[in-house]
Amino acid sequence: MKKLIIASLLILITVHAAKACDICGCGVGSYYLGILPEYNKRFIGLRYQYKTLSTHLGPLGERTPLTTAETYQSAELWGGWNIGSRFRILAFVPYNFNKRTGQDASGTKQGLGDIALMGYYKLFDHNGTLGERLLIQSLWIGAGVKAPAGKYEPSERLAIQESPNNFQLGTASTDFSINAAYDIRWNDLGLNANLNYKINTANKYDYRYGNKFTSNVLLYHKFRIADKVTVAPNIGILYETAGKDVESKKYDVAVSGGYSLSAVAGAEVALKGLSFGANYQNIRSQNLADGRAKAGNRLMVHMSLPF
């Protein structure tokens, strides 16, 4: 119980300490993790994410003749590796497909995105009972780095001043993250929480995306079918918040930063030698780029192979 209290306090402290992104969840990166697939040693897989964003909105968030519809899709190679019983490494290699449609500006971009690597250390795990039921909990903490593998075009920012600098394949900056993952399960009913605070640096064009905080909490239940298939439907919330971007080391970018809060529903399926899942993120509240941008609902699907 003492460890459970410590974990809860850590999550609350992290949430309240985070004040600050690229526009939340779109464009040049999102660090949503959710429930990891079941694996003992290693896994490799693919994730697909679909997101939309409307920009060039009016001062009250209304659509104008200049409003632009943007679509961000990514096919992401991802994998995990448990090293011993205490260490874990996760890697993400995205390939992005961006599309923009509007009266004033239209176009597409596709190519490799920024590559991310995260390392975790298991701070504690506990197997016990609560009443007559099994109680399992674990807390992982760690850090990560993002390498500037995706193409960044400075002309994009110069050409469209009143639009978020989000229509990029990468940021051209090396960025860092602090991560925590907590899971507690009472028999087959569980709660999963992930926190990520991304610390961005300025790129060689003197542009720095605002720091970004991502958190999600999911309630799930595992149903076991004939001891061969495990299905885990889940519901929860996803919160992202963003600081202002900075140009020339001192000027805040007005059309940047903000927050979004989403309701999440999905399911995870585990077979012998294969896991897959999907979730839908319905945005319930947002204020992006001082109301000049509006994100749409999002979809993510994934599959993985443990080995």
Which pLDDT score, from 0 to 100, does residue 159 have? 65
Distances (CA, A) of 146 to 78, 153, 217, 301: 14, 18, 24, 22
What amino acid is encoded at 212 in this protein? K
Parent domain of 272: 2-306
Phi, psi of 162, rounded to the nearest 5 degrees: -90, 15
The answer to pTM > 0.75 is: yes
Token digits for 20? 């600050």
pLDDT digit string (tens) for 174-212? Answer: 999 999 999 999 999 999 999 999 999 999 999 999 999
Which pLDDT score, from 0 to 100, does residue 24 have? 72
Is the model's pLDDT at 12 over the cut of 50?
no
169 torsion bin: left (phi>0), alpha (psi -120 to 50), beta (else): alpha
Band (9; pLDDT cuts 50, 70, 90): very low
> What's the CATH code of the domain at 227?
2.40.128.130
228 torsion bin: left (phi>0), alpha (psi -120 to 50), beta (else): alpha
Is the model's pLDDT at 5 over the cut of 80?
no
Which pLDDT score, from 0 to 100, does residue 78 have? 96
How high does pLDDT run on average in the chain? 88
Of the candidates 197, 202, 74, 86, the one whose C-alpha atom is nearest the C-alpha of residue 140 is: 86
Mean pLDDT of 74-87: 95
Which pLDDT score, from 0 to 100, does residue 103 have? 81
Token digits for 283? 């945005």
Is the model's pLDDT at 161 over the cut of 70?
no
**Count of domains forming the chain:** 1
